[in-house]
Amino acid sequence: LCKKDTVRCNSFSVAEFNSSKMERHIVLAQTTFNNKDVVLLNTHLESMGYSSEVRKVQLRRCFRQCKKEGSEKTVIFGGDLNLRDHEVDACGGVPAGMEDLWEVCGSDPDLCYTWDMTRNDNLDFGGRNNARLRFDRVYIRHSQPATFVPASFQLIGQKRLQVELCFPSDHWGLAIQFRCL
């Protein structure tokens, strides 16, 4: 989501994941904020545990795209990645030069689980509602020299909608503030 009076979208593209059985893709926006180039990469990786191998292929492709962008650009990559930590490890971890913003902002355990069935009852799995996972993630690859630093990391969407008495989603959203250098 780009606010038109602060972020200028110079171009955007959508690239399909050939391996997706769920019609997943990458959305890439070349933007300018405060006269600095920022690439925003968003995706929703394949869902469910049985899609682990496909999800790892998709994650590797996203990481390659982040690394491909010019070093003068800040790259922010995130979304509903449906990741388990062991899948990131199996892909060789977060690539050199990239950072997981939850970790950079202190790894607060209260902000870890973006899919938390102990607190979010939008979905019902027949009484087995105790799953807690960090499905949603945001990564940054800083420009050279760095032009932004993360200032805060928060979970949003944790209040019920008054009309439906449900949460806005079965996932908590991520809100990250950056400070310009």
- Reply yes or no on whether 80 is catalytic: yes
Structure tokens at 27: 């959305």
Nearest to 179 by CA among 67, 113, 79, 104: 104
What's the start-to-end Cα distance of the chain, in Å? 22
Nearest to 141 by CA among 60, 43, 70, 35: 70
- Catalytic option among 5, 37, 80, 124: 80
* Residues 6+ positions from 81 with CB-CB distance below 8 Å: 43, 44, 45, 55, 59, 135, 136, 137
> What DSSP designation does 28 have?
E
Pairing of strands 148-156, 173-180: antiparallel
- Which helix (H) or strand (E) segment holds residue 8: the answer is strand 7-16
Question: What's the CA gap between 151 and 50, in Å, rounded?
Answer: 36
- 3-state SS assignment for residue 177: strand
Residues annotated as part of the active site:
80
